[in-house]
């Protein structure tokens, strides 16, 4: 495995193709991986070499090599960095360096496979985001402490572990893809959340579900109000809503001239006065007049 710096950021290079992209000498890299000959070059430049380490050439076929395994994409993804009996195999060192280890805590090595372990779970991105920092029965599990210190708590207000929950919840919705959490919202978490409350105005707390909901005050002071005009509150709505006053006072009005409010479509629209005074549409791009072509207001 090799690395280099790209714009000052260390980049890990797996696979022969990746090594070439990282600046390795083509002849040295390919010859060291497979030897010489037309068949060797074909194998060394193949997708199977980059992905699964089949960079060698033997008896008319591409075969795995020790060097190919160590540089393969599978090494970085599933820890198959070792070479044994003609195949790439998982190793303890390989498992500890995989993306699965970094994201999901699959950092241990057992019976020839990468497995989750306690240290891996505690240091994973899944722990940082969703609070799944504990370890039990071979799996990372959500903990009360994990919920309270998670990014999901800080950003979305989901700071408490729902005891006995078997559902994977994100922002109050059941979700079985990507990062998710069994942590649920709290009143304190919603009020202090940097995204749900500060950006979206969801500073209130619905105990029955539970999740963060908009409040009149939260909508008025939210980032969405200042930027887009979403300053209004409607009971039962999951989001703050646009208002006439909000559109007129928004950054979108000042920059792009979208100062009017169309109740039928519930959007902020450009106005003649807004276009003429806009700091971006008019001052920067020269679009200072209002056009109603196709019945769609636009600064031109």
Model confidence over 96-146: pLDDT tens digits? 999 999 999 999 999 999 999 999 999 999 999 989 999 999 999 999 999
Establish if 274 belongs to a structural domain.
Answer: no
Asked if 95 and 8 sit in the same domain, the reply is yes
Examine the pLDDT at 171 and tell me if it is beyond 90. Answer: no
Least-confidence region, from 20-24, 38-42, 129-133: 20-24
Establish if 231 belongs to a structural domain.
Answer: no
- Phi, psi (degrees; rounded to nearest 5) at 203: -100, -10
182 confidence band (pLDDT: 50, 70, 90): confident
Residue where the block lists tokens 């007129």: 248
Establish if 213 belongs to a structural domain.
Answer: no
210 confidence band (pLDDT: 50, 70, 90): confident
Contact (Cβ atoms closer than 8 angstroms) between residue 202 and residue 196: yes
Asked if 64 and 121 sit in the same domain, the reply is no
Termini Cα distance of the chain: 54
The C-alpha atoms of residue 140 and residue 152 are separated, in whole angstroms, by 17
How many structural domains is the chain composed of?
2
Asked if 108 and 120 sit in the same domain, the reply is no
299 confidence band (pLDDT: 50, 70, 90): very high
Examine the pLDDT at 11 and tell me if it is beyond 90. Answer: no
Contact (Cβ atoms closer than 8 angstroms) between residue 233 and residue 214: yes
Asked if 27 and 79 sit in the same domain, the reply is yes
Q: What's the mean pLDDT in 156-167? A: 75
Examine the pLDDT at 27 and tell me if it is beyond 80. Answer: no
Least-confidence region, from 18-22, 96-100, 218-222, 243-247: 18-22
Q: Which of 47, 77, 112 is the last residue of a domain?
A: 112
Q: Which of 92, 112, 132 is the last residue of a domain?
A: 112
Examine the pLDDT at 26 and tell me if it is beyond 80. Answer: no
Establish if 299 belongs to a structural domain.
Answer: no
Domain containing 179: what range? 116-185
Percent of the chain with pLDDT over 90: 69
Establish if 97 belongs to a structural domain.
Answer: yes
Establish if 179 belongs to a structural domain.
Answer: yes
> How many CB atoms are located within 10 Å of the residue 136 CB?
10
Asked if 125 and 97 sit in the same domain, the reply is no
Asked if 81 and 104 sit in the same domain, the reply is yes
Provide the whole-model pTM: 0.70
Establish if 266 belongs to a structural domain.
Answer: no
The C-alpha atoms of residue 92 and residue 232 are separated, in whole angstroms, by 55
Asked if 120 and 137 sit in the same domain, the reply is yes
Asked if 14 and 52 sit in the same domain, the reply is yes
Establish if 283 belongs to a structural domain.
Answer: no
Q: Which of 185, 206, 233 is the last residue of a domain?
A: 185
Asked if 105 and 38 sit in the same domain, the reply is yes
């Amino acid at each position: 495995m090799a690395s280099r710096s790209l714009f000052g950021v260390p980049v890990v290079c797996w696979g022969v193709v990746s090594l070439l992209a990282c600046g390795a000498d083509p002849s040295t890299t390919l010859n060291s991986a497979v030897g010489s000959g037309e068949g060797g070059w074909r194998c060394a430049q193949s997708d199977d070499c980059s992905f699964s380490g089949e960079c060698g050439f033997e008896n008319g076929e591409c075969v795995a090599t020790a060097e190919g395994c160590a540089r393969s994409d599978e090494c970085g993804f599933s820890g198959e960095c070792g070479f044994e009996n003609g195949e790439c195999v998982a190793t303890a060192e390989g498992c500890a360096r995989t993306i699965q280890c970094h994201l999901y805590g699959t950092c241990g090595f057992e019976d020839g496979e990468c497995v989750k372990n306690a240290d891996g779970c505690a240091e994973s991105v899944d722990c940082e985001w969703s609070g799944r920092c504990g370890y039990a029965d071979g799996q990372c599990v959500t903990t009360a402490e994990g919920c309270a210190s998670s990014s999901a708590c800080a950003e979305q207000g989901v700071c408490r572990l729902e005891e006995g929950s078997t559902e994977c919840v994100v922002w109050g919705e059941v979700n079985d893809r990507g990062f998710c959490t069994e942590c649920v919202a709290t009143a304190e978490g919603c009020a202090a959340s940097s995204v749900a409350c500060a950006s979206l105005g969801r500073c209130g707390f619905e105990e029955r579900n539970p999740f963060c909901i908009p409040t009149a005050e939260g909508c008025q002071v939210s980032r969405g109000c200042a930027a887009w005009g979403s300053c209004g509150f409607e009971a039962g709505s999951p989001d703050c809503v646009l208002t006439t006053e909000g559109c007129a006072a928004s950054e979108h009005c000042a920059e792009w001239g979208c100062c009017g409010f169309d109740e039928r479509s519930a959007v902020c629209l450009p106005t003649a006065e807004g276009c003429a005074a806009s700091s971006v549409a008019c001052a920067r791009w020269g679009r200072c007049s209002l056009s109603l072509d196709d019945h769609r207001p636009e600064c031109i």
